[in-house]
């Protein structure tokens, strides 16, 4: 029987921050079913992502705050075991719900292996600042968009080469590439103790803000272009409006940090993550419902 502290390291509520990626993937899928949507949602957000969190916790052995846990309890071997169980369950349920979709099973397995390579001491991608930045953003963004698309539609892997699928994948990664260093900004001391030279450490606290701000501007411009080109102009405008609370908080936080470097802390990082996930998740959910004609059927849009 696993103890409470074991379950805490799964950090299941932390999966909320990746919800926008899932909703965006739904919006580009022509074939939707309750079984497919519900199955992939549970597999990713309640099994695969939490398993990755626990696996990371076991090998990092953080003493300070980590994403989703302000005061993480000390890890033991049970944290490692529960990560194995949740990954195995995720793969098993994928096979049971999508028995003929071997491409989806393979893509989820690749995600599991990459997430392990990120933390495991034999490889530990985390200690390579640029490589870990590229890989984390790619696999949590584009790879997830494409595997959800392939899972829901039972298409082969080549289907992601279509611009209407390829572009949303990279747009999802673009947002994560911008936000990824911000998730490390309060962990400089902890990461340095382990010998992990993260991108945020290289950039410095203020440099991390500048880098993230630049990435957000570029990503926002491409999202604006995407919605105008592949959807409708009003979605482009609505995206900017939905993103505005994130930009306002980011600017307010930056000014706080300029005056007091200690404001680059866990609390403000989680606040930015929550605002971003809520605003983007809300927009992409709305976009999915509107583009899939669900709102038209309901007489709302």
Residue 289 domain-assigned? no
Per-residue pLDDT of the chain (301 residues; tens, 9 = 90+): 567 778 999 999 999 999 999 999 999 998 888 999 999 999 999 999 999 999 999 998 877 777 777 888 888 899 999 999 999 999 999 999 999 999 999 999 999 999 999 999 999 998 899 999 999 999 999 999 999 999 999 999 999 999 999 999 999 999 999 999 999 998 888 778 777 788 999 999 999 999 999 999 999 999 999 999 999 999 999 999 999 999 999 999 999 999 999 999 999 999 999 999 999 999 999 999 988 765 444 444 4
Give yes or no for a contact between 131 and 125, defined as CB atoms under 8 angstroms apart: yes
Structure tokens that stand for 230 in this block: 């592949």
Residue-number span of the structural domain to which 40 is assigned: 4-222
Residue 236 domain-assigned? no
Say what the pTM is.
0.93
Tally of structural domains, the chain: 1
Predicted local distance difference test score (pLDDT) of residue 222: 97
Residue 257 domain-assigned? no
Residue 292 domain-assigned? no
Predicted local distance difference test score (pLDDT) of residue 2: 67
Residue 162 domain-assigned? yes
DSSP 190-233: HHHHHT---HHHHH-HHHHHHHHHHHHHHHHHHHHHHHHHHT-H
Residue 136 domain-assigned? yes
Residues 6+ away with beta carbon under 8 Å from 223: 171, 236, 239
Structure tokens that stand for 49 in this block: 């992502």
């Amino acid at each position: 029987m696993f103890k409470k502290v074991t379950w805490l390291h799964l950090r299941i509520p932390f999966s909320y921050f990746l919800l926008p990626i899932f909703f965006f993937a739904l919006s580009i899928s022509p074939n939707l079913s309750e079984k497919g949507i519900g199955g992939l949602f549970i597999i990713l957000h309640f099994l695969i992502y939490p398993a990755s969190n626990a696996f990371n916790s076991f090998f990092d052995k953080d003493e300070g705050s980590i994403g989703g846990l302000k005061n993480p309890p000390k890890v033991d071997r049970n944290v490692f075991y529960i990560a194995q169980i949740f990954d195995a369950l995720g793969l098993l349920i994928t096979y049971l719900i999508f028995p003929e979709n071997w491409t989806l099973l393979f893509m989820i397995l690749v995600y599991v292996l990459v997430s392990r390579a990120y933390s495991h001491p034999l490889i530990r991608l985390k200690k390579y600042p640029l490589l870990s930045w590229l890989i984390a953003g790619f696999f949590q963004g584009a790879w997830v968009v494409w595997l959800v698309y392939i899972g829901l539609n039972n298409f082969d892997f080549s289907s992601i080469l279509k611009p209407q699928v390829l572009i949303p994948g990279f747009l999802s990664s673009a947002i994560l590439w911008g936000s990824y260093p911000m998730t490390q900004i309060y962990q400089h001391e902890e990461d340095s103790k382990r010998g992990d030279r993260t991108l945020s450490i290289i950039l410095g606290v203020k440099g991390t803000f500048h880098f993230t701000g630049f990435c957000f501007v570029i990503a926002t411009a491409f999202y604006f272009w995407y919605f105008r080109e592949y959807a409708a102009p009003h979605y482009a405008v609505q995206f900017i409006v939905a993103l505005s609370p994130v930009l306002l908080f980011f600017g307010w936080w930056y000014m706080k940090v300029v005056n007091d470097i200690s404001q680059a802390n866990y609390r403000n990082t989680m606040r930015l993550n929550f605002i971003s996930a809520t605003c983007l998740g809300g927009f992409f959910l709305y976009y999915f419902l509107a583009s899939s004609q669900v709102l038209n059927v309901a007489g709302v849009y």
